[in-house]
Amino acid sequence: MSTLIIYAHPNKKSFNHAILENVMKGLKDANRQFDVIDLYTEKFDPILVIDEEHKRRDLINDPYTAEYRNKIEEADKLILIYPIWWFGVPAILKGFFDRVFVSGFAFKYDGKLPQGLLKNKSAWVIYTLDSPSFYIDWLRRNAEWTVVRDSILKFCGIKKIKRTRLTSLKYSTNEKRQQWLQKIYQMAKNI
């Protein structure tokens, strides 16, 4: 059993990076095998090219994304760590979904109906927002969450999905941030 962390934040001094460090520490302390895909450090190219030479149906054979598909295939648990910007995932992570979670690998169509192919996996999604929770829940109706949960992960067959949402980050105290990091460490350790 192994875990794959998919991390999307460009700043190594960010709170998201502290989250990553605490998740890794918790997994290490639990003697859990894991790998990390740091999309910014790896300079992942999020641009999906579709033209005469590059067909959407051939994305499963793209050599650029083969290593990422292999890592996902080998993992039983995915952990996604990212900030919410403009009520969505960072563009680099969206491009990762577009280029890696492709037909024939993450899903296929059985007639007109989609069938998820990543059924044997679970996911833990950890994300941060500067917005307060009441604003997200009431005015935005959790749009930042439903797209990732329903339109990507569940669509691809991942049904067991846990969420850790950290809101009002911009206005949080250092004490509150330390509490969050300790909780995340414990959750990672108890996976």
56-88 per-position pLDDT tens digit: 788 999 999 999 999 999 999 999 999 999 889
Q: What is the model's pLDDT at position 140? A: 60
**pTM, to two decimals:** 0.94
CA distance 130 to 172: 9
**H and E: helices and strands count for the chain:** 6, 7
Pairing of strands 113-116, 107-110: antiparallel
| Helix 66-74 and helix 91-100, axial crossing angle in degrees, nearest 10 | 80
Partnered with residue 122 across adjacent β-strands are: 77, 160
Strand partners, 163: 125
Give the structural domain span for 27: 2-189
C-alpha gyration radius of the chain: 17
* CATH at residue 22: 3.40.50.360
- Which residues in 80-92 are b (16+ Cβ under 10 Å) and which e? bbbbbeeeebbeb
- pLDDT on residue 134: 66
pLDDT under 70 in the chain at which residues?
132, 134-141
- Alpha-carbon span 123 to 6, nearest angstrom: 11
Q: Which residues touch 180 (CB under 8 Å, ≥6 apart)?
A: 19, 166, 172
Count of domains in the chain?
1
Residue in 189, 187, 175, 180 with CA at minimum distance from that of residue 129: 180
d(CA 35, CA 38): 10
Q: CA 18, CA 14: separation in Å to the nearest integer?
A: 7
The SS3 assignment for 186 reads: helix
